Amino acid sequence: MRIGIEEARHLAVRGLRGLGLPDQDAARVAEHLLDCELRGLGYAGLARVLSIAERFADRPYQGRPIAVVSETPVSARIDGGDNVGYLVAHEATRVAIGKAGASGIAIVGANNTWYTGMLSFYAEMAASADLAVMIASNATPWVAPAGGTEPRFGTNPICFGFPGEAGPAIWDIGISDIIHAQAVMARRLGQALPEGTAFDAEGRPTTDPVAALGGAFAAWGGHRGSGLGIVVQILGMMAGSPAMPDHLTDFGFLIIAFRPDLLGPLDLFKGKVSAYADLIRATRPVEGGPVVRMPFDRSAALRAACLAEGSIEIPDPVLDAVRALAGPPAGGFQSKCDGDLVMERYLVQGR
């Protein structure tokens, strides 16, 4: 079903408030989930309200504060207080942006969190402040290393972002053929997984999402994706997570942000980034194939199209479940976070 963007936002906020999140936190998480919907990543959008509810049913929301436990002018360690990662990673990114802006470079690690979401969301925040970033987040072991059938690391996204004259260059990738959210969404909708993407608990290939969630996902790219997954797991450990985080708990999030002008003029660098992006897009495609894109081009185009249309498509079972969780609107509730939210800039400016 297609619903309006603002209706979807308010629905997500009501659902999250109903789970116990304060207004400001619910609005911030909703912005992230809505951005996923706008970019065509519905499995990480409003459906995540249901996943958060399931996690709280298993491990109730505590409402503990997010706290900086140690810091220097160029670093910080953050205890996420078992808050959802959309909030913890946002705070870690905000701290990294401030420190890198002042000192030129910053590294911030956060643990005691879960569901950190799209790392590209945070890369956009940094790029809008003219910073380059490397971001990594480990997770509950759901993915088998190359040649294996037992989970040893998370779906473990890693992301790089660079400011550009005509917009940022961002690459954000998970290291498994499918991610946990896709398997959960397939379970909700009664759909099969693609062949060759998962194993059941006995190590047999499966397309059943329930069996896969009790088994392991396959790493993409064989030993290449497997090696990257191991690296991200270790980076999360550097941020404070255990080697093998329990189910949806104590993920590690690490962000390194730095000013490109440490090595040369910022405007020159941003111009080169955008010029190079144009060269990539101008590459001759294979015969009969689509045009060549930069990473993030697809997401940006889908977001722009949805914003122009003013609506998004959400599967009926997901929409019905979120509406049931959220309850009826109370007088057209609206909530705004502070002005650094990425989605707020897009909605206001129409970018």
Quick one: which of 260, 261, 265, 241 has its CA closest to 251?
241
Residue 252 sits in the same domain as residue 341: no
Asked if the structure places residue 181 within a domain, the reply is yes
Asked if the structure places residue 87 within a domain, the reply is yes
Residue 98 sits in the same domain as residue 238: yes
Tokens coding 235: 């980076």
Those residues with Cβ within 8 angstroms of residue 125's Cβ, 6 or more apart along the chain or in another chain? 90, 93, 94, 97, 340, 342
CATH number at residue 144: 3.30.1370.60
pLDDT at 59 over 90: yes
Residue 86 domain boundaries = 67-262
Residue 30 sits in the same domain as residue 72: no
Q: Quickly state the pLDDT bin for 330 (edges 50, 70, 90).
A: low
Q: Find where tokens 């405007």 sit.
A: 267
Boundary-marking domain end, from 227, 245, 262: 262
Q: How much of the chain exceeds pLDDT 90, in percent?
A: 93
Contact 45, 34 (CB under 8 A): yes
pLDDT of residue 77: 98
Q: Quickly state the pLDDT bin for 339 (edges 50, 70, 90).
A: very low
Contact 13, 335 (CB under 8 A): yes
pLDDT at 335 over 70: no
Query: What's the total number of domains in the chain?
Result: 2
Asked if the structure places residue 7 within a domain, the reply is yes
Asked if the structure places residue 306 within a domain, the reply is no
pLDDT at 333 over 90: no
Residue 211 sits in the same domain as residue 256: yes
pLDDT of residue 329: 75
Asked if the structure places residue 340 within a domain, the reply is yes
pLDDT of residue 349: 32
CATH number at residue 342: 1.10.1530.10
Asked if the structure places residue 297 within a domain, the reply is no
Asked if the structure places residue 232 within a domain, the reply is yes
What is the identity of the amino acid at 55? Answer: R
Boundary-marking domain end, from 200, 235, 262: 262
Average pLDDT over residues 275-298: 97
Question: What is the distance between the alpha carbons of residues 247 and 140, in angstroms, rounded to a whole number?
Answer: 5
Residue 105 sits in the same domain as residue 90: yes
Residue 217 sits in the same domain as residue 142: yes
Asked if the structure places residue 316 within a domain, the reply is yes
Tokens coding 114: 């879960």
pLDDT of residue 327: 86
pLDDT of residue 258: 98
pLDDT of residue 328: 81
Give SS3 for 350: coil
Cα–Cα separations (whole angstroms), residue 92 to 68, 81, 215, 306: 9, 13, 32, 29
For 238-257, how does the pLDDT look when each residue is reduced to its tens digit (9 = 90+)? 999 999 999 999 999 999 99
Residue 54 sits in the same domain as residue 134: no
Q: Mean pLDDT across the chain, nearest whole number?
A: 93
Residue 93 sits in the same domain as residue 139: yes
Say what the pTM is.
0.92
Residue 117 sits in the same domain as residue 164: yes
Residue 345 sits in the same domain as residue 227: no
Boundary-marking domain end, from 245, 262, 279: 262
3-class SS string, 216-272: EEEECCCHHHHHHHHHHHHHHHHCCCCCCCCCCCCEEEEEEEECHHHCCCHHHHHHH
Residue 182 sits in the same domain as residue 151: yes
Residue 17 sits in the same domain as residue 137: no
pLDDT of residue 281: 98
For 141-183, how does the pLDDT look when each residue is reduced to its tens digit (9 = 90+)? 999 999 999 999 999 999 999 999 999 999 999 999 999 999 9
